[in-house]
Amino acid sequence: MGNVRPGERDGRTRVGTALKKAHSYTGAMEPTYVSFAQQPPLTGNASLETENAYPARDHLKLNADGAVIVTFEMPAENAHLEATLRIRALVSKLGAQIGHAPLDIVVNERPVIHGWRIPGGGDIPQQMDFVVPAGVLRAGPNRLRLASAADASSMLWLYQLTIDSVWERDRAAHALDLSAFEKPLLRYATRTLIDDDWQPGASILAFVDAGKHSPLEHLAWADSTGAEYAVTFAAELHGFYGWCRPAGATEPHEFRGDLIARWETDAPEAGAPPQRFRVEAGWGGGWHRGGHIDIAAGHDGVQLTRLSWRDQRGNTGTVAFTASGAGFLGTHQTVGEGAVGYRGHAEATVKH
């Protein structure tokens, strides 16, 4: 079988055992999710076991006949309803050829999906929704088994899994975002391609939160040295790819980053905490007091001159800082709404 390392086919691992209830919804199904974007996996209302599988950087790799087993609680009020199962996965390629790893999904010993072929050719992860029909779930513990076929010739890569009751659309995804955002301050080791050679550079911080609690998708900034940067993050945040124009350079260069640490915003080992700005929104011919935004971006101790960002929910902003760095002016747009003026005044560093 392709892409299987020695000793991996027969491995059985119990990753987690306790049902985690990070968010409480009385009378409703707890947000239920598993994410392999970090180790140990993030779980909500779920215990987790694996068979013939092993963790990779941001996903779980399932060998032929490998499986992930999720046990989750269902309240009696929702047990008679259907549910929505969402997975993010891909099938690894066989060299330049499309891979082969059909998947089966069984809930409480009843087949839900059999022999499903994941589209996309293995280039990028695909998001897929499946119905768990009414009558399959039951009050109390439920057991879901997602398995790769015994005749798979390549691997099934599983990134995340969520389960929602039919009337609770995307609740688990939102809860997963909040859980992942518990350590939102990210540090990346960087590399710059110069004369066909990837040269290591100083690490950078990446964190912008205007109260949306959503991970970054895109970040661009310039600093007081005259350097410019623009990067796009992997969905699981393990790395980024973009370009930079170092101070004094006339040409841009490819720029990459690899996640090396993530912390809570006030973790002492992270160095200086993010800077907090009190913000106002400009609309209707006037300025209106808003909340705040917390920012930690770029190289340690180097002042930003401008910053643009987009988070994974589609919220965007772009600002230019004053000469002292104590304020900024720009625009902000919450997804689904119009753009507004946006200005900020330094308030304090972030303390929780």
- Tens-place pLDDT, residues 303-328: 999 999 999 989 999 999 999 999 99
pLDDT at 18 over 80: no
For 127-148, the pLDDT digits (tens) are 999 999 999 999 999 999 999 9
pLDDT digits over 193-247, tens only? 999 999 999 999 999 999 888 889 999 999 999 999 999 999 889 899 999 999 9
Percent of the chain with pLDDT over 70: 91
N-term to C-term CA, the chain? 50
pLDDT of residue 19: 41
Q: What is the pLDDT of residue 179?
A: 80
What is the pLDDT, as a whole number, of residue 96? 87
Q: How many CA atoms within 13 Å lie on the side-chain side of 76?
A: 0
Please write the tens of the pLDDT for every residue from 37-48: 888 899 999 999
Average pLDDT over residues 87-103: 93
Report d(CA 343, CA 224) in Å as an integer.
20
Which domains are assigned to the chain? 12-179 (2.60.120.260), 185-349 (no CATH)
pLDDT of 144-197, one tens digit each? 999 999 999 999 999 999 999 988 888 998 888 878 777 899 999 999 999 999
d(CA 2, CA 13): 22
pLDDT of 22 above 50: no
pLDDT at 57: 84
pLDDT confidence tier of residue 27, bands split at 50, 70 and 90:
low
Sign of CA dihedral 328, 182, 267, 255: negative
113 backbone dihedrals φ, ψ, rounded to 5°: -135, 140
* pLDDT for the residue 29: 87
Give me the pLDDT at residue 350, please.
Answer: 55
Query: Is residue 138 classed exposed, middle or buried when 0-12, 13-18 and 19+ CB atoms within 10 A define those classes?
Result: middle
Residue 213: per-residue pLDDT: 87
Q: How far apart are CA 256 and CA 167, in angstroms?
A: 41
Please give the pLDDT value at position 169: 84
pLDDT for position 342: 97
CA dihedral 350, 35, 261, 346 (to 10 degrees): -20
Residue 339 scores a pLDDT above 60: yes
Percentage of the chain lying above the pLDDT 90 cut: 73
Cis before 75? omega within 30 = no
Q: Is the pLDDT of residue 66 over 80?
A: yes
Q: Is 112 left (phi over 0), alpha (psi -120 to 50) or beta?
A: alpha
How far apart are alpha carbons 210 and 311 in whole angstroms?
10
- The model's pLDDT over 247-265, given as tens digits with 9 standing for 90+, comes to 999 999 999 999 999 998 8
